[in-house]
Chains A and B, each alone.
Chain A
Amino acid sequence: MKKMLSMTVNGAPLEVAVHTHATLAEVLRGELGLTGTKVGCGEGDCGACTVLLDGEPVNSCLVLALQAAGRTVTTIEGLSAEGAAAGESLHPVQAAFVEAGAIQCGFCSPGMILSAAALLRRCPDPTEADVRVALSGNLCRCTGYQKIIEATLAAAESLATSHAGDNSDREGGRP
C-alpha cells in the first residue's frame, strides 16, 4: 500500500508516494534518485546511510520513510549545495575530507561527513575524543579513521575561522 509523504529534502518541500514499509533510505535512493546515501548493511550497523533528520544524524535504513513526514531531511547532496561558502562547491567538512585524504573507497564518506557536520554544529570545538565518539556509528574499513579524525578537526578549525564575524548557520538542514 502506498501513502503520500510530504517532507523537505535538501531545502525543497516535496511530496512522494511511498510504500508504508519503505525505509527513508529506499525512498531517497530509489524514488528521489539521491544515491549519495549509501546502504552498506540495511540493518543499522554501518552508518553508511546516515542522513540528517531535523539536523540530527540517523541511519536512514532504519527509519521508515513515513516517519519523515513534515520533517526536514539533509542528504550529502544537500550538504554541498546548502553548506558551501559562496563560490565553493564543497561544505567545509567535505573540503577537509578531500584535503586530508580521509576518503579512500568513499563508500562510508557521505555518512561519515554528515555525522561529522552534525557534530560540529552541536559542538564547534570538539576534542579528538569527541570526534571518535561522534563517528563511532560510522564504520570505515579503508582508512583506520585517522585521516577522518584529522579532517574533522581541521573542518572545525576552518568553520571557526569562517564563522568569526559571521553568525549565520551555513550548514543547512535546520528548519
Chain B
Amino acid sequence: MSNHRILGTRAVRLDAAAKATGRALYTDDITLPGMLHGAILHSPVAHATIKSIDTSKAVALPGVKAVLTAADVPEIPFGVSPARYDERVLARDKVLYVGDEVAAVAAVDLETAREALELIEVEYEPLDIILDARQALAEGAPQIHPMYEGNLSARVEQEFGDVDSARAKATVICSGRLESEMQDGAFLEPQAAIAELDDQGNLTLTTSTQSVHYIQRTVAMVLSMPVGKVRVVKPAVGGGFGPKAACSTMELLTCLLARATHRPVKIAFTREEVFLHSRARHKFIHHMTLGASADGKLLFLDHEALLDGGAYASFGIATVYYAGSLLGGPYKLPSMRYKGTRSVTNKPTCGAQRGHGGVIARALFERLLDEVAEKLGADPVDLRLQNMMEAGDVTCNDLNMSSLGMRECIEAVRDGSGWQEKRGRLPRGRGIGVACGFFVSGAGYPIYRSDTFHSTAEVKLQEDGGTVLVRSAAADIGQGTDTALAMIAAETIGVDLDQVRVISGDTDLSVDLGAYSSRQTLMTGHAVREAAQKVRDQVLEVLAERLGVSMSDLRVEAGLVLPAEGVDLDFATLRTQYTKEHRGWTDNPTDGPLTFREASRLAFLERGTMVATGGYKPPILGGKFKGAAVGTSPAYGCSAQVVELSVDLETGQISVDSVTDAHDCGQAINLTSVEGQMQGSVSMGLCEALFEQVRFDAKGRCLNANLADYKIPTAMDMPKVDCIVVETDEPNGPYGAKEVGEGAIMPTIPAVLNALHDALGARFERLPLTAQQVATALRTGRPVAAESPQPDTKGYCKIDD
C-alpha cells in the first residue's frame, strides 16, 4: 500500500546477531568490580503478623555486608498508581502472601547471602487466610490489607446508553459466565537488577525492566533522591509481557543494599521468585448478558466482573477498568453496563499481562456472540460483519476507532481458513471457531497523572556525517522496538538502515514511558520521526544556503542528496570541499550524486553538531466519566482468528490443528517482527486457553512455581499459525503505524471456545480447558459451571489448618 523504501520490509533485527552469538548482555550477565550479591527473605506463610525478627546471627556470618529489615528501609509507600501506593519495601508488622518480602541480605557471594537468609529468625503469628476473591468480599471476612476495607481493592460502575430499555427491546438475549485461572508471565529471563552509587551520590540501576522511566521515578521517590540523580538502564531483556513494567521491591532493595554497603549489589530472582512476585494475569470471573434485535443488531451488554487481585494493587486498578472498557468495540454496541470488582486475597499480586485486562472479557463476549448467532440462525462471521464498526466510529464509551481494518481481517481469516466449507460440517470431535478483538496502541494517559511527554527522542548525526544515532529511553524487551525506530529514522531521513544506530533503554537519553500498552511503535515512533525530520532539515538548510536554492529544491533518497524533480543543481564545489577535508582517505566519493554523508559532514563543519529532539504526547482523549482514561488511545489495532481443533473423545485432550490469524497493524514497520508478535500472541493465548494455571494449596503456597509443573507451550504444542498482515492507514500513527503486540492475543481464547462448541456442542465456562475438564464434560454431558462474580453468599468460612 505504501511507497516506502524501508518501512514494510523484512529487516534483520539490529540485535539479532548479538543474541545469536551469546554476546548480548542481560542483567545477570553483568559483573561489576567489588560487586556484592543480594538475596531476599520471603514470607513462608500467607497471612500473619510479624512478632519479631532477629537478624543477629545473619549479621555475624562472615561475608555478610548488610542485612535489612523494615526498620532499616524507608517507610515511603509505593506502587503503580499514586492513589493505590500500597506496597512497602519490606513488611513491617504483617505479611500478606507467601512470598511477601521480609528482609534482605548483601554478601560477598550468593551462597553466603542465601546462608544468611536461613539465619534470620522471624516469629509469625498466623492469621486466617483468604485465597478466594468471592470469600474475601463476603460479609465478615477479615481485612487483609489495612488500606482496603472489605478487601475491596477497586470497584467500577459504569453505564453507557440505557441498558434497561435496550433490554426491553431485545428479542435475542444470551447470558453466560466464564471463569479463568491466574496465569504467569513465564518470560524466560528471571528479573535481575544491579545498583551502584558513584562518589557524587548518583545512583545507577541496571535492571530487567519494561520501563526505565517508571522505575526511575519510583526509586527516586522511595529513596528520597532527585530524579536526575537516579539513572535506570535496561540491558538486553529476556521478555516481559507486562509483569516487568512496575517497579519491584527487588529493584528497590538492590538500591538500598548498594546504599548501605557502598558497593555495587546484584539481586537475581530464581524461577520460584518469578512466580511469587508474579504481577501477571489475574484470575477473572465474568458474567455477561448480551442482547440483539430480531434482525441481528447488537443492542446491549450487561457485564459484571470479579478479579482476584492478590495482596497488592500493582497495575490492577487499570486491569479492572480495561476488563470493561475494551468491550466497547469493535462492534457497534449502543449500550453497555459494567460492574467490575477487584478484591484483595492472600496470594501473589496480579497486574498487567499481554492484552491487559481484556483477554478473558473478550473471550466471554465473543463466545456469547456465537450464541446470539446460533439463536438467530446466522453464521458467526456474518453476525460479526453485520455489527462491525467502521473507521471513524466512536464506541459508546468514547473510544475513537480512527482506523479499523476489522472487516478486512475477518474476511481474510474466513477465506484463508476454508471457513465456509468447514463450519458446522466437521465430524464430532473436530471444530472450527472464529473471534475478533482489538487493543490500544498506547495508553492515552500515563500511570501517574501528568502532562509529561509520553516519549521524547533525540536523533544526532555523527560528525563524520555517515551515521545516524537514535537515542531513546524506550525499552526493547524482545519485541523489536530498536529496529522499528531505526527503520523509522532511516525512512524519514532517506538513508539506508545500516547507517542508523540505536541506543535505548536509558533514562539519561530521553523520557519514554516504556514497553507497555503496546505504545512504543506509535508513540516513540512519532518522537523519532519528528527528531529525524528536524535533523534532516537542518542539513538541507545548510546545503540550500550554500547552493543558493530553497530547501524544497532538495530531497534525500537512499542515502543520496538529489535535486527535486525538474531542478538542475551542481554539487561539485561541495564535493570538492568534502574531498579536501578527507585527504588520504581511500573511501572518498569521486563521481555520482552527493551523498547524505557528505552533506551532513559539511553541515557539521558549518554549524556544529546536527542534533534534534522530537516528542509525543497524545491529544486529550476519551469521555468525562470516572475511569474514562482507561481504554483510550490514539489508535487501535485489531485482529481476527479462526482456530481449528480436534478433541480426543476418550481423554478429552484438545489439539489445535491450525490457526489463521489476521491483524491490522496500520502501516507495518518490520513485517517479520509483526508476524513474530502475532505468532507469540497466539502461543500465549492458546496455552492460557488450554493449560496454563498457577495453583495454590490451602495455605496459599504456590504448587507449581517452576517451568515443569507450570506448563508453557513447547515446540510440540504449537500448531502452524498462518499470519495475514492487514494494513490500514492510521491517521494518528507515525506513517500510519499502530500496535500488534497485544491486540493479536484477543481472539485466540474465544476462537478456541467457539471451535470447541463446534466440536462438541457445549459451551465451556472454565479455563483452562484441561483434558480432565473436557473429559468430565464428555462423560456427564455438560461442562463444569463457573462461579458467579458475586461475593460468596455462604459468607466467609475459616480455613482450618
Binding site for B on A (CB under 8 A): 29, 34-46, 48, 75-77, 80, 89-90, 94-95, 97-101, 103-110, 113, 131-133, 135-149
Contact = CB atoms under 8 A, between A and B. Distances in A.
B189 A105 contact: yes
B12 A99 contact: yes
Contacts of B675: 101, 147
A29 B706 CA distance: 22
Nearest to A81: B21
B29 to A, nearest CB: 4
A103 B13 contact: yes
B186 A142 contact: no
A46 B186 CA distance: 10
B21 A90 contact: yes
A95 to B, nearest CB: 8
29 contacts: A35-B25, A38-B238, A43-B271, A45-B707, A46-B188, A76-B22, A77-B21, A80-B21, A94-B20, A98-B16, A103-B15, A103-B19, A104-B239, A106-B15, A107-B189, A107-B239, A133-B716, A137-B714, A138-B715, A139-B188, A139-B712, A142-B188, A143-B680, A144-B682, A145-B713, A145-B714, A146-B679, A147-B672, A147-B676
Contact of A104 (B28, B680, B718): B680
A83 to B, nearest CB: 11
Contacts of B478: 104-107, 142
Given A40-B271, A41-B706, A141-B683, 19 more contacts: A29-B29, A35-B25, A37-B22, A45-B708, A77-B22, A89-B17, A90-B20, A94-B17, A97-B20, A101-B12, A103-B13, A103-B15, A103-B19, A104-B239, A104-B479, A106-B19, A106-B478, A141-B188, A146-B720
Contacts, number: 179
Contacts of A37: 22
Interface string B1-41: 00000000010110111111111111011000000000000
A34 B29 CA distance: 9
A6 to B, nearest CB: 23
B704 to A, nearest CB: 11
Contacts of B662: none
B16 A97 contact: yes
Contacts of A140: 188, 715
A141 B15 contact: no
B235 to A, nearest CB: 11
A35 B22 contact: yes
Give the 4 A-B CB pairs with smallest separation, nearest first. A36-B22, A105-B478, A106-B19, A107-B238
Contacts of A42: 270-271
Contacts of B10: 101
B477 A105 contact: yes
Contact of B480 (A46, A104, A109, A146): A104
Interface residues of B, number: 54
B22 to A, nearest CB: 2
Nearest to B718: A145
A108 B25 CA distance: 13
A76 B684 contact: no
Most buried by A among B189, B241, B477, B716: B189
B679 A105 contact: no
A16 to B, nearest CB: 16
B206 interface: no
B189 A143 contact: no
Contacts of B270: 42
B237 A105 contact: yes
A41 B19 contact: no
B23 A143 contact: no
A144 B29 contact: no
B236 interface: yes
Most buried by B among A40, A80, A113: A40
Nearest to B477: A105
Contacts of B514: none
A104 B13 CA distance: 9
B20 A145 contact: no
B715 A132 contact: yes
A104 B240 CA distance: 12
B188 A105 contact: yes
